[in-house]
Structure 1
Amino acid sequence: MKCKAIIMLLGVWIFISCEDVIDVNLPEQETRLVVNGLLRVDIDQEFVNVEISMMETSNFFEDNQPTQVESAAIIYGIPDEFGEIPEPVFSNLAEREPGSGVYVPDPNFTSDQRIRTADVGPGVSFFLQITYNDRSYFARTEYASTVPINGLLQGDNTLFDEDETEVIVSFTDVPDQENYYVFDFGFGEFLALDDQFIDGQAFQFSYFYDSNLEPGQEINISILGATQDFYNYMDLLVEQTDNNGGVFQTPIATARGNVFDITDLDNIDVFDNVGQPELFALGYFAVVQEFTQSLIIE
């Protein structure tokens, strides 16, 4: 038995020592602009917290890196029956710190470029215009309101693992209209929910954290409003990322957002590049109302 074991170990050592290092040549992919443009509106604040992250895709083994754009601006207002905004308001953006890739209302502009919360409400449309590497990008979204969280409770149940922590969330849906919600549970964990089966009802559900939360730890949970398109986008991202690493860290290439390359388009009314499907940025631009509650883990 001992001789056989020694022979087996010797064979394993020879196998390992003879291993060759194999270089895998991954296909070169053209870099893309990545836009993290989720603007959360707190109606108790005077101004909307505008922070839009611009990144550039990198190779397979590296995280996306901050990048700089030539120009960026938000235009907003209430559109008329033709979808045009008769009295548009502009918010010109500038990089907050050199090299950060984070764009905020330009503090050095001749007038205040911040967006007042009082100017944001149902029916208001927002447009994001970006110039990057001599190409023009455009995104359009509508403001999405939401309802507050009624309550947060810590439960005792588990789903798959005894180390999970159950949090019970309750809210009341607005009746007689299609509503979409995105819940932000922190730690890069999101849940997209619609009201197809809960229209106008008080609703309660459980969410299970698979990470080890410590007693006394405070967690923040937010409910965000969502348009149907934003709901579909987040639902797809959550499914593809499986809540691993955060859905906004490295957007999946197959999850097309609403930021389109319009450089070569001759019809501004058709901005989604249906004739050039390979030209698009990653990420999403959305303006949503947010309510947040905190919970102390016991």
Structure 2
Amino acid sequence: MGIGLFFTSCTDVVDVDLTTEEPNLVIEASLDWEINDTGATTGNEQTVKLSMSSPYFSQDQVEMVTGATVKVVNNATGEEYPFTDQNNGYYTTFSFEPLVNQSFTLYVEYDGESYEATDTFEEGTVISNVDQSTEGGFDTDLTEINYYFQDDATRDNFYFVKFYRDGDLLNSIETFSDEFINGNLINNFYELDDDDDDIEPLKPGDVVDINFYSITEPYYNYMNILIYQAEEVGNPFSTVPVGLQGNCKNVSGGKDAYGYFRTTQVNQVTYTVQ
């Protein structure tokens, strides 16, 4: 005699009320001063972007902020550099004067609130050589781009690198310090993993831009958290990313702005894969 066991189930739709916060000011202020093996550019043209935050799952278009007052001040000389509102969320200046090892403060006035942030131009490091190989990366069947630079042994250095292959949707980014490599000739590499169906490995003819930034330790720590959060997206066991707090403080007593005021020297190199 056989006994049949039948199990039935039903599915209930559960509506979860997610807590959402009020939109908050987002400040994207990266003052980049380009250098190369022959010296530095003037660095006079700079841009600050202001917008409002939106909920994590929102599909709405980002709200750009106009009508703000934006300026940067040299903290040693008191020289002020006003940024002109372009009426699209971007504020620009063509008269900025960057200085190595000099601190600058960003001032933003918007909607009755005042925000301030300070950062220092770290002396930049120049990439001395770029080549390619298949031996130094994670996969010996794939091509990697190698870049070389001399670390300055007289100070603690923190680095931020952006790689962009022409045609890709996003940059690849990394951060590292000279804690264990101080004063050495350094070789790092860039390789695209072919395990991801959406990414093709490097191939002959690919053009890759390398932006090599010298940054302060606080910005290094900020970017490490940001990169970790980005890498966790898509992990079913990860938590929903929280708003990452940068250095833009509300000095009026209200909520601090999101984003970061960064002042850096950057070395830009372009390499074509052979």
Cα shift readout 1:237-284 (whole Å, capped 9, x = no counterpart): 112212979xxxxxx5453210011103xxxxxxxxxxx7xx211110
- 1:50 counterpart (22, 31, 46): 46
In structure 2, the partner of 1:287 is 263
Sort the Cα spacing of 1:254 and 1:56 in 2 relative to 1 into closer, same or farther, 3 A.
closer
Structure 1 stretch displaced more, 185-194 or 151-160: 151-160
Distance 1:191 1:202 in 2: 18
Alignment partner of 1:185: what SS?
strand
Sort the Cα spacing of 1:46 and 1:146 in 2 relative to 1 into closer, same or farther, 3 A.
closer
Q: Is the 8 A contact 1:34 1:55 kept in 2?
A: yes
In structure 2, the partner of 1:89 is 79
Q: Is the 8 A contact 1:253 1:282 kept in 2?
A: no
Distance 1:31 1:51 in 2: 22
Amino acid at match of 1:114: S
Sort the Cα spacing of 1:73 and 1:177 in 2 relative to 1 into closer, same or farther, 3 A.
same
* Structure 1 consecutive aligned stretches of length 4 or more whose deviation exceeds 6 Å: 18-21
Gaps of 5+ in 2: 1-8, 165-169, 194-198, 235-240
What's the offset of the Cα at 1:178? 1.0
Sort the Cα spacing of 1:94 and 1:136 in 2 relative to 1 into closer, same or farther, 3 A.
same
In structure 2, the partner of 1:109 is none
Is residue 122 of structure 1 aligned with residue 100 of structure 2? Answer: yes
Query: Which structure shows the bigger proportion of residues in helix conformation?
Result: 1
Amino acid at match of 1:262: V
Cα shift readout 1:145-193 (whole Å, capped 9, x = no counterpart): 211011222222553696x652212111011211111111133321111
Amino acid at match of 1:42: E
Gaps of 5+ in 1: 1-14, 80-86, 106-112, 246-251, 265-275
In structure 1, the partner of 2:245 is 256
TM-score relative to the length of structure 1: 0.72
RMSD: 2.9
Query: What is the aligned length?
Result: 245
Is residue 37 of structure 1 aligned with residue 35 of structure 2? Answer: no
What's the offset of the Cα at 1:133? 2.2
Query: Which structure shows the bigger proportion of residues in strand conformation?
Result: 2
Q: Is the 8 A contact 2:34 2:268 kept in 1?
A: no
Is residue 145 of structure 1 aligned with residue 123 of structure 2? Answer: yes
Identity of paired residues, percent? Answer: 23
| Matches for 1:89-108 after TM superposition, within 5 Å | 89-96=79-86, 98=87, 100-105=88-93
Distance 1:78 1:260 in 2: 17
What's the offset of the Cα at 1:236? 1.6
